[in-house]
Amino acid sequence: MREEIGKVLSMMQAGKIDSDKASELINALQEKQMAHPSQAVQVLGKPADYSKKLPSGSGRYLDKTLKIQVTTEENDNVRINLPIKLVKAVLGAGHSIASNIPQAAEYVKNIDINLLIDAIENELDGQIVDVRTGDGNTVAVVIE
């Protein structure tokens, strides 16, 4: 299943499908996986079972978007909008994979994945992160 999710994410990154379609495809893959648990994805030798950590939640909440905005003094701005459905589908697996990639491990080692999972479980809404540095750079993470 990890390969299929990777293909879906690659298609989204290449602009072949939008994030809503990617979320729909990943949800379908997860439903298929739940129907055939013997084919569970393995991360570090343990079967992935993110369904226990991430409940279905209310449909209205799952229609919201996680927005990540980075603004710098040099005008190197980044705006990322991800449907909560997509975040819910790839959160645990993505963190585990990134932790095992030497170039990415340094950046994800301090991310509290359980905090993010709790935020989704409790249907957190509004601003989650607001960082402003002395040199004018800002990072904001919002669920709207």
Q: What is the pLDDT of residues 55-97, one digit of tens each?
A: 445 567 777 888 888 888 888 888 999 888 888 778 777 777 7
Distinct helix (H) and strand (E) counts, the chain: 6, 6
- Averaged over 35-48, what is the pLDDT? 41
> For the chain, how many structural domains are there in total?
1
Domain of 61, in residue numbers: 2-143
Helix 19-35 and helix 2-13: axis angle, to 10°?
170
DSSP-based three-state secondary structure for 122: coil
Alpha carbons within 13 A on the beta-carbon side of 76:
2
Q: What percent of the chain has pLDDT over 70?
A: 78
The helix or strand, by DSSP H or E, that contains position 139, with its residue range, turns out to be strand 138-143
